[in-house]
Amino acid sequence: MTRARQDRDRSLALLRSQHTFPGEYVVRVVVRPPDRPTILTAVSATVGGEANVVDVTQRSSRNGAYAALHIRVHVTSAEQVLEIYDVLQQIDVVLAAI
């Protein structure tokens, strides 16, 4: 088994031990404020549409240069959570995804 596969299996096990699926999950993303629509579109597409995006809150940095988005989504599985993070890692404007 490859190292990447082992890491993925550990991540899935941890998610399953801490969350109930299907259910809600909060993704935290740091971006510049103008990039918010890009992130919301990507997350929405990954979870199956806007109806599965339950809530979005935003907290701006002191000088307004950055925005921390908390995106609460309805997911079907731990695999779908990892898929969200995989998509976010491919977007250049994402400064951090937690």
pLDDT of residue 4: 87
3-state secondary structure at position 56: strand
Residue with tokens 């299996």: 9
What residue segments make up the domains of the chain, in order of their start? 3-97
Identify which of 39, 42, 25 has the alpha carbon closest to the alpha carbon of residue 78.
25
- The HSE-up count of residue 39 (CA atoms within 13 Å, CB side) is 29
Class of domain 3-97: alpha beta
Residues of the chain with pLDDT under 70: none
